[in-house]
Amino acid sequence: MAILWVIEIIDLIAGHRLEILGIQPRTLVGLRNILFAPFLHRGFWHLFANTFPFVILGWFVMLRGVHEFFYVSIVAGLVSGLGAWLFGATHTIHLGMSGVIFGYMGYLLMRGYFEQGAISLALAVLALFLYGGMLWNILPMQPDISWQGHLFGLIGGGVAAYRHRGVRPLWPNVDLNKLIGSGK
């Protein structure tokens, strides 16, 4: 997160010239910029709005391991970026970490569904309780918000969870009968 704040300070000093590195739908340069767009924001308020959900939902994902955090971040960022590139309005620029954040939400919800372990379900419910309201932003309700990036980020998180279904649970299930004796 600190890197994002440093980049935003550099962008401010540069007169917001870095924002051209956002996703420009259906252009060759816009396709390349899928790699850069999550690291750029429209200003400090945009970055501030993404900071706490990124830290909290990202931490929930990271509880499964650092490798899981990076895997989900990459998949969500790429799927979100491709969705914005394919379906975004012409002559717009899509940028920000929110597609990845929506990916974390999609991952946590779908991981709870696929795994159905107590901890995974608890994290899904907690994520939904804390940030469920953000799901309205997958609908085209506000013209300056990339609902395409949000929707495809959510899908990307679901894809990451689907691909990791059956992978080791968060913590191994403890058989209480073995732990305290079966009583027989």
Q: pTM for the whole thing?
A: 0.89
The pLDDT assigned to 135 comes to 96
pLDDT band at 144 (very low <50, low <70, confident <90, very high): confident
* C-alpha atoms less than 13 angstroms from C-alpha of 66 in its C-beta half-sphere: 0
Answer whether residue 141 is part of any domain: yes
Query: Residue 11 in contact with residue 19, Cβ under 8 Å?
Result: yes
| CATH (domain of 147) | 1.20.1540.10
Q: pLDDT for 5-35, tens place per residue?
A: 999 999 999 999 999 999 999 999 999 999 9
User: Total domain count for the chain?
Assistant: 1
Answer whether residue 9 is part of any domain: yes
Long-range contacts of 6-13 (CB under 8 A, 24+ apart): 7/39, 7/40, 8/40, 8/41, 8/43, 8/44, 8/47, 11/40, 11/41, 12/43, 12/44
Range of the domain at 12: 2-168
